[in-house]
């Protein structure tokens, strides 16, 4: 499937493939059709995590490096991925390996930002934990000054941070944009609300979609933290009690909802936790009845997750149709809704 190579204007005109597992069929539409596919009392759950300026170019000694932040562990400490010289214009899988660095190695990003490697993964030398010298507001000010959004070679020009935010983004938790929510402009959300659709939110630290290391890619998604507020727990309980549908906006929301339920015996509980849940065809969702997501390729972890919501044969037919019909993939691509 061809990738969308730049953010597009007018999200309501972007294409939407509706996949109905119960009817074993799919149909073409646009995002403007979403209110007609949902009904009064249905609950749409979004990820309000903002995208960090998670790509930092710097040096370790005399060696150039790129550090991609994966997620914050606590104040000033992050899990991260190391690359050697180069930038997004080179395909991730073609990027040179980073220099071999040990715990205690120093990383510098300009004159005002530095970090120390505190742990190197036993399974991949490019997967590390780091501690920045700065903390709190001073650190975030430096990150927003020196950092850039993570991007890949299918996007030919440098992105600005505002290109990779959802309309309702709040706390900077995400390494990459939780892209399923990108086209949910306020006009579309208001149209959904006028129809009686409820909207709730959670925050999930959406991680990296590619590492350039086939063995590490096979482990994606890595453990990610999430936080679910009391209001969202109540909204889910009320929708379930009324027999209405709960739709996860994106794979990050599905992981947060289902990961939380797995921790608490099938029920949601408000609070913050971390999930290492990998959802695939063998997983039976306990919370989400459907998912609004992008166009994903088979053999991706995101596509594996979709198989928990629809039979693989139907997804394969829908994917073949989408390719033939010219749907666009990746973070700025078209959307699909899996919902009976």
Q: Please state the φ and ψ torsions of residue 19, each to the nearest 5 degrees.
A: -110, 120
Going by pLDDT thresholds of 50, 70 and 90, the confidence category of residue 102 is: very high
Q: What are the sequence ranges of the domains in the chain?
A: 11-51+159-338, 55-146
Reference 201, options 220, 221, 178, 224; nearest CA is: 178
Helix (H, G, I), strand (E, B) or coil at 72: strand
Give how far Cα 182 sits from Cα of 44, 49, 139, 185, 332, Å: 14, 12, 27, 7, 8
DSSP character at residue 148: B
Is the bond leading into 30 cis (omega within 30 degrees of zero)?
A: no
User: Residues in the chain, how many?
Assistant: 340
pLDDT value at position 297? 86
Q: At the top level of CATH, which class does the domain 11-51+159-338 belong to? A: alpha beta
Which secondary structure element, helix H or strand E, spans residue 189, and what is its range?
A: helix 186-194
Cβ within 8 Å of residue 158, ≥6 positions away: 88, 148, 151
pLDDT tens profile 25-53: 999 999 999 999 999 999 999 999 999 99
Rounded to whole angstroms, how far apart are CA atoms 208 and 81? 9
Predicted confidence (pLDDT) per residue in 283-336, tens digit: 999 999 999 999 988 877 788 999 999 999 999 999 999 999 999 999 999 999
Per the CB < 8 A criterion, the answer to whether 67 and 85 are in contact is no
Mean pLDDT score of the chain, rounded to an integer? 95
pLDDT computed for residue 10 by the predictor: 86
Which CATH number is 55-146's, of 2.60.40.150, 2.40.10.240, 3.30.200.20, 3.40.50.720? 2.40.10.240
pLDDT value at position 305?
A: 92
Residue 111 has pLDDT above 90, yes or no: no
Mind listing the pLDDT tens digit for each residue in 149-194?
Answer: 999 999 999 999 999 999 999 999 999 999 999 999 999 999 999 9
Can you tell me the mean pLDDT for 89-111? 93
Coil, strand or helix at 95: coil
Bridge partner residues of 17 (DSSP): 28, 336
Instruction: Give the pLDDT band of residue 114 (cuts 50, 70, 90).
Output: very high
């Amino acid at each position: 499937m061809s990738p969308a190579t730049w953010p597009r204007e007018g999200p309501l005109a972007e294409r939407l493939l509706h996949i109905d597992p119960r009817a074993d069929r799919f149909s073409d539409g646009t995002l403007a059709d979403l209110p007609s596919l949902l009904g009064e009392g249905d609950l749409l759950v979004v990820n309000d995590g903002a995208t960090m300026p998670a790509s930092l170019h710097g040096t370790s000694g005399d060696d150039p490096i790129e550090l991609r932040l994966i997620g914050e562990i606590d104040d000033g400490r992050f899990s991260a991925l190391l690359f050697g010289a180069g930038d997004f214009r080179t395909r991730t899988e073609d990027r040179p390996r980073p220099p071999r660095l040990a715990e205690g190695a120093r990383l510098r990003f300009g004159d005002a930002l530095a970090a120390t490697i505190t742990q190197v993964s036993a399974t991949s030398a490019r997967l590390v934990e780091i501690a920045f010298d700065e903390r709190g507001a001073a650190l975030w000010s430096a990150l927003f000054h020196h950092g850039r959004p993570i991007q890949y070679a299918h996007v030919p020009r440098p992105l600005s941070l505002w290109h990779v935010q959802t309309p309702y983004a709040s706390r900077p938790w995400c390494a990459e944009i939780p892209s399923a929510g990108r086209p949910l402009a306020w006009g579309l959300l208001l149209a959904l609300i006028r129809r009686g659709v409820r909207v709730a939110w959670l925050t999930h630290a959406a991680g990296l979609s590619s590492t350039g290391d086939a063995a590490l890619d096979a482990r994606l998604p890595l453990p990610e933290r999430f936080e679910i507020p009391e209001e969202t727990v109540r909204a889910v309980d009320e929708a379930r009690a009324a027999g209405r549908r709960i739709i996860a906006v994106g794979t990050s929301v599905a992981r947060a909802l289902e990961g939380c339920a797995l921790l608490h015996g099938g029920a949601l509980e408000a609070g913050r936790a971390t999930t290492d849940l990998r959802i695939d065809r063998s997983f039976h969702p306990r919370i989400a009845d459907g998912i609004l997501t992008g166009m994903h390729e088979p053999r991706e972890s995101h596509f594996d997750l979709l198989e928990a919501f629809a039979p693989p044969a139907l997804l394969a037919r829908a994917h073949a149709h989408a390719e033939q019909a010219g749907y666009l993939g990746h973070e700025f691509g078209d959307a699909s809704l899996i919902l009976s």
